[in-house]
Chain A
Amino acid sequence: MAKSRSLKKTSSKDVKLSSVMSAVGDDEDDLSIDEQAISASEDEEGNDDERKHKKLLEAISAMGGRKRKKQNERSEASVEVSEFFVNAEGTGDKVNLSDLLKTMDNSSAASSNTKKQLKNLQNTKQTLELPLNKQQAEKIQRAIAYEKTAKEVSSWDDIIKQNRKAEQIVFPLKHEPSGPKRVEEVVARWKFQTPLEQEIFSVLHRNRQPTNDPVLTPAEDASLKAMSLEEAKIRRAELQKARVLQSYFEAKAKREKAIKSKTYHKFKKKDSRKCFVKDFEEMVKTNPEEALDELKKIELARMKERMSLKHQNSGKWAKSKAIMAKYDDSARKAMQEQLQMNKDLTRKIAVPSDDEHENIEDASETVPDFANDPEPVTDAVNPWMRGQLTHEKPKVSRVTTEDVQTAQEENENEEEELLGEFEKKRKLWQADEEDLIPTEEESKREEPASEVVEEDVLDKEEDVVSDEEAEDISEFSSLFRLMSSKKTIQKKKGPSQTQEGLNAPRRDDEEELLNEGEIRVRNLEDLEVLDEVVEPQPIRKQSLPETAVEKDTSEPPNKKKREISLQEVLTKEATVVKVPFLPTVVEEEEHGEQISLIKEAFAGDDVISDFIKDKKKQEADAMPKEVDLTLPGWGDWGGVGLQPSHKKRKRFTIKPTPPPPRQDRKLPDVIIPEKRSVLTASHQVIQLPFFFENVEQFESTIRTPIGQTWNTPSVVRKLTKPKVITKLGTIIEPIVKEDFIHKTTTPAGERPEITLGGNECSGDPELSSKKPLRRSRKRKNNTN
């Protein structure tokens, strides 16, 4: 019974549910229909009020009819009526999910998928777990939040490490970039005040010159983008090279310009003219059009020359020369030269035109002498003509004066010679330059080159060297000559001791430099003898290695040698001090004088020998002594006048272990006391300070001086760089995230910055940032 009853109930419920649902669905439709009805009736008529009223009542009754009916049904269906429940039917019975979902099976609206899911749900008998208690939930929340913030904060790791390692930090951290700003940036903040400024602004505006952030115009931007980094690098390298070459050429030109010798310039000019003619001929062959242009230029120059009074012997100088010409050959020659110049310049040039006739006529019209001149002839086809003409030329000139002719001949000879000489000189300069910037190749090449130069110079020396030349040659070359001359002298004298070294090639010479110290030791002994016999000789001997050192770029052999010599000096008597130390030849004499002076002043006290004695004594003191433990009388006869036997004594003396080698054993002029002195002990570091691994490390930090007595200003600046620099009177703001960490990992980073005066509510961004988090947490809880 009960079962059937419950079934009934459920069925009735189903009906109810469906009816309710349908009612809910239908109501809206009904309403819309009614409204239509009302509106229709209104349209049809509007006169009879009674009918209208009736219809309205009917409509209202029709509207509420069903509902009332339903209520009636409900009331009928209910078995028990309670004052608390509207419908007390089925009280005490459980409502199953299946009851609720039965309608789903009937209605086609629900998809089969959902139906399946629902069925599955119906079948499962698992119950949901209890939610976590509040404390635990909060703990999880906190843990997640903490991890998140810790991760976020860790993005500072790199910056903090970097700042800690940095040699120098300048506060405030965000300083404006030093140096000049772009004009546009400055202008951006500035506003016009005067009409003129306004005008300028309007012009700028018209041209769409951006004043603000993208400072570059679109075209400029595009051009910037066009070139890649590598291309830019290559281009930069090219430009650099070009610039360097240019500077080389400039320097060369400057040097040549600085040559004051008039003769040089004269001959150079001539040379260049010759060159030009040669080129011109080439050009006629290869590029006649350009040659024509050149010709026109020459023609123009000729016209100018003809118009002017230059080279006409009418100037002040020419007049004065004219007076002198009577007595002075050179003046006459000069005047002649000038006239010749005028002639050369005003000479008509044969234009390579198809009309030969004209050409000849022109030539005949103008002075025939000039036409015969070989240089401007452009007819490349007929070399014979040209050759003849050149041959004729001196004849023509001979017509004027004999002197001029001879002079020219001489000149030509001289020209060749002098040019050659200048070439040599230039070579010398080049060598000089190469010395300044020695590359690997050059350094290899240096020795033979210098030898060649030497020879040249030697040749020159044998010739009569004019003062002018001596001036032109650089100091280096003169020095060189000096040195080589010394060599020659020595060669002539041929001292037996150093002959081997001199005859050997230069390489050996250098090696000898390294071995020099040992030779010197021997020499010094000899020197004492030599000193008395020949005075200048030691000096010359000294000069030889020293000059060699000068040639050599590397210092060390020199230093070493000096050290050794010092030692010698100290172990010998004071008289040896006469040997000069300093490298230059000139200074040597002065130094010698000084030394002799000092010697004179301290004639009485022999400081050096005292020092040596003192050192020896110290050394002796420092040596541990033998301990004699022999007891006279033990196993032996004892008594006054009886000594223990030698054998016994030997047996009972304890030989000490030799002490570690003295620190000053290789320093002849220094005494380093081995005993720990009480006075200095208080200033010495006893323990190795923390973070130093060994003593050497610590000592090396102490050993390098940082003061400006020992270092150049830039080095001092670098060494004494303070770790932290603050600017006076500037507020140091805390580090700002946006300046250092650019990637925005969290939504917090996207938050708009709050303006200074603004009282913005910070709630919204917070909420937005929190929403996803909450969701995720919920999800997490559910899964748990």
Chain B
Amino acid sequence: MKVKVLSRNPDDYVRETTRDIQRVPRNYDPTLHPFEVAREYTRALNATKLEKVFAKPFVAALDGHRDGISCITKHNKSLSTVLSGACDGEVKVWNLPKRQCLRTVQAHEGFVRGICSRFCGTSFFTIGDDKTIKQWNMEAPEYGVREEPLNMILGKTVFTGIDHNQRQATFATCGQSVDIWDEQRSSPIRSFSWGADSFSCVRFNPVETDLLASCASDRSIVLYDTRESAPLRKVVMRLRSNTLCWNPMEAYYFTCANEDYNLYTYDMRYLDLPVIVHKDHVSAVLDVDYSPTGQEFVSASFDRTIRIFPKDKGHSREVYHTKRMQHVICVRWSADSKYVLSGSDEMNIRLWKANASEKLGLLSQREKNAATYKKKLMEKYQQHPQVKRIARHRHLPRDIMKQRRKLWEMTEAQRRKQRNVRKHSKPGSVPLLSEKEKKVAAVVE
């Protein structure tokens, strides 16, 4: 006789480990789960609120410098190492997980103007107000041995910026001219100068490694190719650009931080108009750095905040500030795209999370799934007023708010004035210029 027995596959209802939750067979019949939109909306709203609750971006402050931080750079091969130069000529090597200073070098007399690490991470270069370029070993000397640079080049003028090629043993400095140096030679292998008498920043393109761009004091941004004997082209803006940064994933885009409180993303092939104008800062933008994913960039401003902009948005998605943080001089995005480092006037380096409410450390698969679901929900319902309101809300210091209001009034007044001028002049004589068009003075071939 045959006996019929219910038999089920244990895989369907037995959990894999005791830490796992019990498996529950689900019935996806939509009639059993009504009101899906309303329920998901509630979830989205809750997720947004929780995101705000958990938004604690500040991770740590590295203190130890005895003067304002003038420059920061990342170690090219180690995530946990960061180098910083201060206005008193000191260079410090930091260990981020321990939040410790590993090494202090009195590199220069006067400011350390720039610092960059070699692509292999074995040494780093500093430039200072004492007209020298110094190459230092990344590893600290043994106990009792004096700190000596591996190599020192004495220049004729003060250098203001330095950047190393991503793949070759060459580096570029700027000062009165933009020089390309070979590591083995004491004189530049190429020197570019085109009208301007001083440059503030030079950056190699990390993708097309022969290209580089510099910001000059004559309000221009100049492009160079190391293979050519002459510069390529320059674009002159209304106000001076302080620094610029190339997008590490999109070879022909770069963003410059301007004195007019805005950032401009350019396509190097079409310099006559910026691609996007990024607004939000209320004072001069001093530094900018792209995230290694190329999706966002972070900017440091004189208004004592740092802001994170999506590369293709006109406004920032995040603003970080603390009471104690003064003018932010330099900012860098960590190589794993999780953190942001900012160096400011009041001698501290601050470590921030790139995503304010992200949970740090390893996540279990379920946590990950929950996070992605929440993110997607917020994205789905981002247009809904309540979600939008909560997601967008940021606290800002009163000074910045005031300044912002003032700026708004100013721009409104200008707009009104323009409108009136246009109204009372011959039609077509006062052209209607877009915000982008207003900012570019000329493109010089």
Contacts and interface: CB of A to CB of B under 8 A. Distances in A.
B232 A732 contact: no
Interface in A172-230: 173
B54 interface: no
Contact of B293 (A145, A171, A760): A171
Given A685-B383, A730-B336, A702 B211 contact: no
Contacts of B323: none
B308 to A, nearest CB: 14
A703 B252 CA distance: 39
Interface in A718-776: 719-722, 724, 726-737, 748, 753-754, 756-763, 766, 769-770
Contacts of B369: 716-717, 720
Contacts of A734: 166, 206-207, 248-249, 292
Nearest to A173: B249
B430 to A, nearest CB: 30
Interface string B40-55: 1101000000000000
Given A142-B233, A710-B28, A731 B169 contact: no
- Counting contact residues on chain A (CB < 8 A from B), the size range is 35 or more
Contacts of A145: 225, 228, 230, 232
Interface stretch (B104-112, B371-379, B397-405, B414-422): B371-379
Contacts, number: 181
A735 B30 contact: no
B170 interface: yes
Contacts of B425: none
A138 B230 contact: yes
A156 interface: yes
Given A702-B380, A709-B36, A716 B373 contact: yes
B77 A142 contact: no
The CB with the most chain A CB atoms within 10 A, among B167, B251, B381, is that of B251
B12 interface: no
Task: Find the residue from B37, B119, B169, B230 having the highest chain A CB count within 10 A.
Answer: B230
Contacts of A98: none
A118 B159 CA distance: 56
Q: Which interface residue of A149, A701, A703, A735 has the most chain B CB atoms within 10 A?
A: A149
B445 A143 contact: yes
A762 B445 contact: no
B187 interface: no
A476 interface: no
B183 A710 contact: no
Interface residues of B, number: 70
Contacts of B292: 171, 731-734
Nearest to A701: B380
Given A154-B269, A756-B120, A761 B445 contact: no
Contacts of A142: 230-233, 445
A729 B78 CA distance: 10
A737 B39 CA distance: 47
Contact of A729 (B79, B207, B293): B79
Interface string B224-260: 0111111111000000000000001111100000000
Nearest to A732: B292
Contacts of A156: 207, 250-252
A146 B385 contact: no
A683 B386 contact: yes
A759 B37 contact: no
A153 B385 contact: no
B293 A707 contact: no
A682 interface: yes
A683 B207 contact: no
B248 A153 contact: no
Contact of A709 (B33, B169, B230): B33
Nearest to B377: A706
A754 B41 contact: no
Contacts of B79: 729, 731
Given A731-B336, A737-B208, A754 B383 contact: no
A722 B380 contact: no
Nearest to B226: A766
Interface in A676-722: 682-686, 689, 698, 701-703, 705-712, 716-717, 719-722
B373 A720 contact: yes
Contacts of B168: 754, 760, 762
B144 to A, nearest CB: 27
A741 to B, nearest CB: 10
A763 B169 CA distance: 11
A706 B183 contact: no
Interface in B1-58: 2, 26, 28, 30, 33, 36-37, 39-41, 43
Contacts of B268: 150, 153
A141 interface: yes
Contacts of B167: 753-754
A252 to B, nearest CB: 21
B362 interface: yes
Contacts of A471: 2
A716 to B, nearest CB: 7
Contacts of B137: none
A139 B122 CA distance: 40
A769 B225 CA distance: 12
A709 B377 CA distance: 13
Nearest to B363: A728
B169 A758 contact: yes
Contacts of B37: 702-703, 705
A730 B77 CA distance: 10
A679 to B, nearest CB: 12
Contact of B337 (A726, A754, A770): A726
B223 interface: yes
B182 A762 contact: yes
A721 B122 CA distance: 38
B36 A710 contact: yes
Nearest to A172: B292
B120 A735 contact: no
A168 to B, nearest CB: 11
Contacts of B337: 171, 726, 732
A682 B376 contact: no
B338 interface: yes
Contact of A735 (B26, B170, B230, B249): B249
A152 interface: yes
B189 interface: yes
B290 to A, nearest CB: 9
A737 B206 CA distance: 10
A156 B152 CA distance: 38
Nearest to B291: A732
A153 B211 contact: yes
A153 B79 CA distance: 30
B170 A762 contact: yes
B232 A726 contact: no
Q: Which of B2, B30, B208, B249 has its CB near the most chain A CB atoms (within 10 A)?
A: B249
Contact of B232 (A146, A757, A770): A146
Given A150-B268, A735-B207, A726 B336 contact: yes
B336 A729 contact: yes
A163 B336 CA distance: 19
B138 interface: no
Given A142-B232, A142-B233, A735-B207, A153 B251 contact: yes
Nearest to A683: B386
A754 B76 CA distance: 16
A684 B445 CA distance: 53
Interface string B169-209: 11000000000001110000100000000000000001110
Nearest to B374: A720
The 5 closest A-B pairs by CB, nearest first: A732-B292, A734-B248, A734-B206, A705-B36, A146-B232
Given A169-B293, A689-B383, A731-B335, 6 more contacts: A142-B230, A163-B250, A706-B380, A708-B373, A710-B30, A724-B295
20 contacts: A139-B445, A149-B211, A173-B249, A682-B386, A685-B385, A706-B40, A707-B43, A709-B33, A709-B39, A711-B28, A720-B373, A722-B372, A729-B336, A734-B206, A748-B210, A754-B168, A757-B120, A757-B122, A759-B184, A760-B169
